[in-house]
Structures are given as C-alpha cells and as structure tokens.
Chains A and B, each alone.
Chain A
C-alpha cells in the first residue's frame, strides 16, 4: 500500500510539474531560510553552555542605588576575589579575568599583535577550553608562562613545537610557552589568543588592593553540593565588611550561561538583552516555515477538483478515510523531503553569506547525528504541517458527489484558503513595514550631526615609545605637511572611556550623582577634531602655558552645572583644579541614538592613550599615511604602525541596526517571494477552472481588461484585508522597538502606504500574469475542450 502511495505521489509530482515546482521551491526556500535562522540562534543560545561546570560558574556583579535607580555592572575590585575565596565555604574557585589586552609578540624577527587576557591560574580548570599541549593544572603556575591558541602558535612558530619556546612581549619581558589551546569556539563571551597568569601583573605592580577600583571581571565556581540560594544572601553584603568607601554597594552572582543572552539590567532587574532578538527571529523562522506550508496547503486544496475524482474512486473501491489521509500525508512528506534536500543545498551555499550578515562564524557539523535528526525532524514537521489540512480536506470528499460531477468548489465569503492567503500577506506586510522603519531609523541616526569633523581624521594608540617621543612625532607630522593638527587624547573621539559622578564645581548640589563624561586632550582638540567653539577658546599650550590645567565643557555640561558665566569657573576632578577656558557645541561621543550627556575635556595634566591626527588634504591619504608610517617607525621602531579612520569607526556604531535592517529586508523579500509563488499557483488554477466561463464571456463581448480585472479582483481584496490586519500589528511592534532608542524617528503614515502599495503591486503583477494569459486565450479553443 505504501509503495502504491509513493508511486502515485511521484507520478502526481511529475505530471503537474509547474505545481510541483512552485510547491517544492516555496517549501525549499522556506525551510532553508528558517534553518539558517535556527543555525544562527542555536549558536547564540549555546554561549558558554559548553563548559563542563557551566551551571556552577557565576560572574560577580555589583548593584548600587544611584539617582533613585539600581545600577548593575560586572567589574569588581581586584581584591574581591580573595575575600570571596576566604569568606564563603560554598565557593570552590575564584578566577579573575582582566580586560582583553593587545600585546606585541616578538619571536626572532617576527612581530605581531595579539589580544588576550591576564587570568588567575584556575582559569583553565574553571572553563572548558581544551589544551592540546600542557595540563590545565600547571600551565599558568609561573609568572612568566604563557598559554597560546593553536592559530597563534602557527603564526608565531609555524609548524614547530611551541611549548618551551620563548616570546618577548611588548619589548619588556620574555615568556615561556607552557601550553597550546585549541582555538576557542565562537560561542563564548571570551575572545583571546593568549593567557598570561595574573601573578605576572603582581610582579609588574599592576595588581592592587583598592576596593574603590572596580576594574576586573571575577568568576566564581561553586562547589557541587553548594547552592546559589545559600550563598546569595551572604555575599550580598560582602562590601560592608571590606569597602570603607561604598559599604552599601551590593554583590551578587550571575550565572554565566545567562549573561550573554539575558545580561542586561534595568533598575536591578534582568531586562531582556539578546534574548529579545532571538525570540523575534525564532518567531520569524516559524512564520517563514508556516508561510511556505500555507503555499502548499493552498496549492493542494486548489487542485482539489483534480484530485477529487481520484478520492472518489478510491473510496468506491474500498479506501477508508484514514488510508486516504495517510496517502496525502505521504505525498506531502515526499514533497517536503525533496524540498529538504534542495534546502540543504541552498543552506550550504548561502551559509557563509548569512554568517557574514549576522557577523557570526557559523558552520554545519555534518558528522553530528543531531544535525540529521533535526533535519529530518524539520522535514517531517513541515510535511505533516503542510499536508494535514489538504489531507483532511481531500479525504473528506463524498464519492457520490465527486463522481456524479455535482461537486462544486465552495465560493464562500470566508474560506480557509482565503484566510491563509491573508495570513501570508499580513506577515509579509509587517516585515516590509519593519524593514522600512528600521532603515529610516538608521538613516536618521546616521544623518544626525556628530558635532565634529570625521573627515581625514585618523588615530593610533600610544604604544611603546610613542608617548615618550610624542612631541617629536607631533612636530615632524606638522612640519612635514602630513597633518594640519595633532592632539593627544584619553580615548578615540568615537568612544567614551571614562566618566565620574565625583566631579565638583561651585554650586553643585551635594546629592547630585549625575555621571559626567570625562575626556582628556592636551592641545588644539577643537582644531584637530573640528569641534565648534561656542564661547572662549581652544586649549592652547603654546600661548598659555597654564593650559595644562585648562578645561573645556560641552553645552550640556554648562546647562547641567547651571553656569551663566562658564568661562573662568574652577572645576575639581582627580584632586586637581581645572579652569574652564571654552565651551564647545555638544557632539556625539558615544551612542548616536542617545541624548548627549554632560562632558568635560581636561587639558595636558590628564592621562592619554590615543594620538589623533588631522590629515592635510593637499596630499593623498595614501601618501600621508606612508609618510606618517616612516615617522612612527623612526620613533617607535618596535611596533608596527597601526591606525584607524574615525569615519570608519563611527560607521561601526550602526552595525547592529544595519544588520537588523538587512535581515528584516531579506526576510521580507523571502516572505513576499514565497507568498507570490503560492499566489501565482492559485491564480493559475483559478484561471484554469474558469477557462470555460472566460471563453463564454469573451464570445459575448467581454474585453481582455474586464476579464483581467474580474480575475484579479478577488486576490486584491485579500491583500487589502491582509494590509488592514498587518499594518496595526506592524505599527505596534515598531513603536515598541523604537522606544529602545531615546533618539528616534516618529512613525509616518507614508511608510504604511508604501508597504501596502508594494504588496498590492507585487500581488497584482503575480496574479495579472495568469489573468491576462487566460483573458487573451482564444475562446474557441477553451470552449472546444468539452
């Protein structure tokens, strides 16, 4: 019996090729698109869950009341680890991980930079990053040992054995390689190519015991039998025992398996984070599969007139309803199987592009049985989902009715088929509107005035001898005509690295704990970065030697500090008295989506990390950079000259929204495309079943136009209803999305008009092709097919 089903299913597929093509390609695209999303989401949800002890590892967080709101963050004092280890018997190990650090590696003549972490020696026991060489217990035991990844080892030593070899780091100390790690996977919050023991920091004097210096990440692994519930209330008040400055600040443990997906806090509570994106795209994946299935259902039931006779005959010769249901489900599973194979090809080809789009390293592990299990699961699921309605519908035909020819398709006001088409197009319209609004928001933020000039501005980090030779480098850059202005700053102009609520000025409310951005620039910052001076002047060390304690304020700071006469004010920060020499127009330091915060710029007495160079436009950028490289090489010979363009860095602030926009656009396109495949099929069946009617009408004098209109009208009505359903949903969803951005657009009516118009136009084009084809056909032909 099964063979018979398969045979007839196969012949049916073969006989109605265009139907099969529409069906299979729609399903294949749907399965492929959904699978790509699933592959991506699986990578996201697997973040840091692969560690053997994942469910016992926690990240240490602080929470503190500030301005009436609870803030949570995960940088802790370096000494906290010791206190936790001593005070709580529940704790097995504590490991500190400092911020990722770029170091210069020198091996013989080879010099290259790599990023990695200083970590406590228990790191590799706590986290499951497998070693190829060396043992986790001992590799980090010596001050000057270093563990590197396989690919860094390749870069440094080629195919030679790395363990035992020596590398010079940052031209200062020699380290011995004690272990080689397998390259770390992409689904972890860590990103390092080397690990250096924390004890090295101590030898350098970089370790400290200040409870006020919240600067490192601390991870805790609880003992097997210990529970979070038992330690949580105790660790909460940890600081009251040690921290004289902020004894009320609370401490809590947060599971590492949650931190990637959920680690965003709002007033002390988890407030979503990446999980929201994941939920959104999971819904999109489900909907895309659903839409492809809807195609299948629509096309199958539209063909019911053709299949009705077969059903009738089978019933007459003894088929029961359940065996017919089996037959139709078998057919749909066969179709979805073929579509699945096709989808696998599509996925394999498109995965690299998709991975690029979502900025993840994604791959399929074909040797993993779970992949095949999931694949067959999806195929079976799709086949059953798509086939269930047609199977019930078709198997329900009464043989008497269909064989006598009195079987007529129902033309009710609401039929399941119409509901399905409306669902499809409503979803497509929602995605179109979403894509347009995301794009608008992006353009709007991109168009926002930065308040400084990004053009021809490059920067480099103060590495090696750059800081020592800074004035020589600066002079040479200026005198050789490469640069028009050079300034040393605390951070790139696109990033805020420092802030404080401890800044004091005259008239400050003692309860004011507003965080103010802190930036440092030695000289000429307004000229270099193109900041606009509203009052006073730029910092100018040549003319005013006291300007090493000069300060600039932005307009928001002036407003916040309630200065009527800002110039000449004295502002205290870091135990220094700064005098305000100028006010600059607000500029975007951090997020282009947020309001600009109060900001101070401190003069040469501050601290510096970056050299910013405004290029002279007389020569080409390429020539300028080549000349600059020579100068940097001269004064900082051990380091490669590396620089970044401010405009490129600024553009990166939009990567997330660009990605969201592209994804929404892509899936909107796919949804529309799949829906149109279905619509095309439906229209062709409609034209086919009404061919005689059309013939008669033409004979009686109907024009091609009136027939086309008659055939297209029904479908257009459905798309318009879909718009009425989809538009409010889209408005609601996008309104909520925009609320995450303090600086955002307002939703305008024309977006909906455009989306509706697009959907209608595309549907019209799809349907009218079939309608016109039917309308221009020679009626003599169609009437003869009696």
Chain B
C-alpha cells in the first residue's frame, strides 16, 4: 500500500517507583502505514496507553527505535517533540479532556493558536470543523453544558481542526453510551476515508471492527495482528 508513517522497533518503556519496576513495553515492534486505521486491543495494564503516548510524542521511550514519517525521533528533546506534535498529531481521549474555562469554539481553536494561525483563518477553520461535526450551534457553550457525546465530538473537532496526518485515540468511546459511541466511530471512519491515519485503543470488539487491522497486546508485547480488510 503506502509508506510507513510509523515504524517502531524493539521499543522499551519502564516505570520505576520506589518499590517496583514495571515493564510497560517490552521490545515492541509495530508498523503503521499512511492512511491506515489501526485498533490496539489488550487487557488493562498491558501498555496500550503507554504505546499511544510514545507514538504521540508525549512521552519518551527507554529503548528501541521510533521512526516517524521516515525520521528517527527517539531521543528528541521536549521542544522538538512539541513542535513535531503540534503540526502532525491530533489526540482524542476517553475522558474528553476539554478545558472547562474555555467555550467549545475556544477549545477547538486552541491548536490553531499554538500553530500561529491568524485569527481570521482560525475562525474560518473552526467554524468549518464545527459545522462538519454538527456542533456549530453549541459553539458558545462551556464543556459542562454538553452531553458526553457532544463533548467527545468537540474533542474530535479539536483533534482534526489542524488537519493532522495522524490521530491517536485512547478509548474514545469508553465514557459514552453505544449510540454516542457509534457516532464517534462514524466520525473517525470518515476522517480516515479522507486520508487521516488513525491509531485507536479500544476495549470494544465492536468498535475495533471499524478499523483495518487489530493489534493485540499482552504484557507490553504485540501478540497477534488481525487484518480486517
């Protein structure tokens, strides 16, 4: 198919606390191609979120290699990672993670501000996205005034407003009922169809079926991969 967007090899991540050392990722190797929609599954504590954080350049690996768009990024410092992240990657979390003090519009606008987009362009882009996701009428509401499904739609809007190449979603439907969940999965599928690469962690086999490929993890390892298409 296409080029590799992500290629990680023998990735390792440890968490050290005073008493114990946890191996969260144990020589994990996976690849994700441009335009793919990949689901990551596995029991709680097997390292899915850790993997996503590293893919999203939020966290450092302790060993192994991570090639993003053909560039080795393992060992990047925080500033370089932040720079790469804000231009390329969008996030969707289980718990929405909207800023309570900002309105829907302002929350979605945030990535554009940090990418130094001009105010007029920002307005256009945000309105476009809100329109697409059918939450335009809520633009001046604060997150607490919205239902869970609406909040997650705002979070998705925020993740895509910057047209990132990659969207990372950590249990995006975890806090939603099934109809709201399906709506969000629909959104992600549409985005993927327009060319955005998506890596999604999920516990739901139903949601996983929206993807092209399922990576199953156990104890920081990738065990199997099911190709769905």
Inter-chain CA distance A314–B158, complex, in Å, is 11
> Which one, A309, A317, A321, contacts B86 given CB within 8 A?
A317
- Min CB distance A399 to B, Å, is 5
Q: Is the CB of B59 within 8 A of A400?
A: yes
Q: Could you name 7 residue pairs across A and B whose Cβ atoms are closer than 8 Å? A: A1-B113, A4-B113, A8-B101, A315-B82, A320-B82, A398-B59, A404-B49
Q: Is the CB of B101 within 8 A of A12?
A: yes
Query: At the interface, yes or no: B37 with Cβ under 8 Å from chain A?
Result: no
Query: At the interface, yes or no: B99 with Cβ under 8 Å from chain A?
Result: yes
Query: At the interface, yes or no: A234 with Cβ under 8 Å from chain B?
Result: no
In the complex, which residue of chain B has the Cβ closest to the Cβ of A323?
A: B114
Inter-chain CA distance A170–B196, complex, in Å, is 103
* 18 additional A-B residue pairs with CB within 8 Å, beyond A310-B99, A310-B101, A316-B91: A1-B114, A7-B102, A8-B102, A12-B101, A309-B97, A313-B98, A314-B114, A315-B58, A317-B110, A317-B111, A317-B114, A318-B87, A318-B110, A321-B79, A323-B114, A400-B59, A403-B93, A403-B97
- Min CB distance A319 to B, Å, is 5
Contacts of A321 in B (CB 8 A): 78-79, 82
- Min CB distance A77 to B, Å, is 76
Residues of A312-339 contacting chain B, CB below 8 A: 312-321, 323
Query: When A312-B97, A313-B97, A399-B58 are in contact, do A318 and B86 touch as well, CB less than 8 Å?
Result: yes
Q: Is the CB of A400 within 8 A of B99?
A: no
Query: At the interface, yes or no: B115 with Cβ under 8 Å from chain A?
Result: yes
Query: At the interface, yes or no: A15 with Cβ under 8 Å from chain B?
Result: yes
In the complex, which residue of chain A has the Cβ closest to the Cβ of B98?
A: A313
Total interface residues on B, using CB and 8 Å? 30
Q: Mark A7-22, 1 if CB is under 8 A from B, else 0.
A: 1100110010000000
Inter-chain CA distance A476–B87, complex, in Å, is 104
Q: Is the CB of A314 within 8 A of B82?
A: no
Contacts of B109 in A (CB 8 A): 4
Residues of B200-224 contacting chain A, CB below 8 A: none
Inter-chain CA distance A403–B50, complex, in Å, is 12
Query: At the interface, yes or no: B85 with Cβ under 8 Å from chain A?
Result: yes
Q: Is the CB of B49 within 8 A of A319?
A: no
Q: Identify the interface centre among B101, B106, B111, B158: most chain A CB within 10 Å of its CB.
A: B101
Query: When A7-B106, A400-B59, A404-B49 are in contact, do A318 and B98 touch as well, CB less than 8 Å?
Result: no
- Min CB distance B141 to A, Å, is 14
Identify the 6 closest CB pairs spanning chains A and B, nearest first: A318-B86, A318-B114, A317-B111, A11-B101, A400-B59, A400-B53
Inter-chain CA distance A315–B58, complex, in Å, is 9
- Min CB distance B83 to A, Å, is 8
Residues of B54-91 contacting chain A, CB below 8 A: 56, 58-59, 78-79, 82-83, 85-87, 91
- Min CB distance A398 to B, Å, is 8
In the complex, which residue of chain B has the Cβ closest to the Cβ of A11?
A: B101
Contacts of A323 in B (CB 8 A): 114
Inter-chain CA distance A321–B78, complex, in Å, is 9
Point out residues on B near A: beta carbons under 8 Å: 49, 53, 56, 58-59, 78-79, 82-83, 85-87, 91, 93, 95, 97-102, 106, 109-111, 113-115, 158, 162
Contacts of B58 in A (CB 8 A): 315-316, 398-400
Q: Is the CB of B93 within 8 A of A318?
A: no
In the complex, which residue of chain B has the Cβ closest to the Cβ of A3?
A: B119
Inter-chain CA distance A321–B77, complex, in Å, is 12
In the complex, which residue of chain B has the Cβ closest to the Cβ of A406?
A: B15
Q: Is the CB of A318 within 8 A of B79?
A: no
Contacts of A312 in B (CB 8 A): 97
Inter-chain CA distance A321–B109, complex, in Å, is 19
Query: When A317-B86, A400-B59 are in contact, do A15 and B101 touch as well, CB less than 8 Å?
Result: yes
Interface of A is mostly: helix
Contacts of B101 in A (CB 8 A): 8, 11-12, 15, 310
- Min CB distance A330 to B, Å, is 14
Q: Is the CB of A318 within 8 A of B158?
A: no
In the complex, which residue of chain A has the Cβ closest to the Cβ of B96?
A: A313
Q: Is the CB of B114 within 8 A of A319?
A: yes
In the complex, which residue of chain A has the Cβ closest to the Cβ of B168?
A: A316
In the complex, which residue of chain A has the Cβ closest to the Cβ of B93?
A: A403
- Min CB distance A317 to B, Å, is 4
Inter-chain CA distance A309–B102, complex, in Å, is 13
In the complex, which residue of chain B has the Cβ closest to the Cβ of A12?
A: B101
- Min CB distance B121 to A, Å, is 14
Inter-chain CA distance A316–B170, complex, in Å, is 13
- Min CB distance A19 to B, Å, is 13
In the complex, which residue of chain B has the Cβ closest to the Cβ of A401?
A: B59
Inter-chain CA distance A11–B110, complex, in Å, is 16
Inter-chain CA distance A11–B103, complex, in Å, is 11
Inter-chain CA distance A315–B86, complex, in Å, is 9
Contacts of B111 in A (CB 8 A): 317-318
In the complex, which residue of chain B has the Cβ closest to the Cβ of A311?
A: B99
Query: When A318-B114, A323-B114, A400-B58 are in contact, do A313 and B82 touch as well, CB less than 8 Å?
Result: no
Inter-chain CA distance A465–B59, complex, in Å, is 98
Inter-chain CA distance A8–B106, complex, in Å, is 10
Inter-chain CA distance A7–B100, complex, in Å, is 13
- Min CB distance A88 to B, Å, is 69
Contacts of A314 in B (CB 8 A): 99, 110, 114
Contacts of B98 in A (CB 8 A): 313
Q: Mark A302-314, 1 if CB is under 8 A from B, else 0.
A: 0000000110111
Inter-chain CA distance A404–B111, complex, in Å, is 20
- Min CB distance B20 to A, Å, is 14
- Min CB distance A305 to B, Å, is 13
Q: Is the CB of B106 within 8 A of A4?
A: yes
In the complex, which residue of chain A has the Cβ closest to the Cβ of B158?
A: A317
Contacts of A309 in B (CB 8 A): 97, 99
Contacts of A399 in B (CB 8 A): 58
Inter-chain CA distance A319–B82, complex, in Å, is 7
Inter-chain CA distance A315–B99, complex, in Å, is 12
Contacts of A398 in B (CB 8 A): 58-59
Contacts of A12 in B (CB 8 A): 101
Inter-chain CA distance A11–B99, complex, in Å, is 12
Contacts of B49 in A (CB 8 A): 404
Inter-chain CA distance A279–B99, complex, in Å, is 48
> Which one, B85, B97, B99, contacts A318 given CB within 8 A?
B85
- Min CB distance B105 to A, Å, is 11
In the complex, which residue of chain A has the Cβ closest to the Cβ of B49?
A: A404
Inter-chain CA distance A43–B53, complex, in Å, is 60
Inter-chain CA distance A347–B100, complex, in Å, is 37
Contacts of B93 in A (CB 8 A): 403
In the complex, which residue of chain A has the Cβ closest to the Cβ of B53?
A: A400
In the complex, which residue of chain A has the Cβ closest to the Cβ of B50?
A: A400
> Which one, B56, B85, B99, contacts A313 given CB within 8 A?
B99
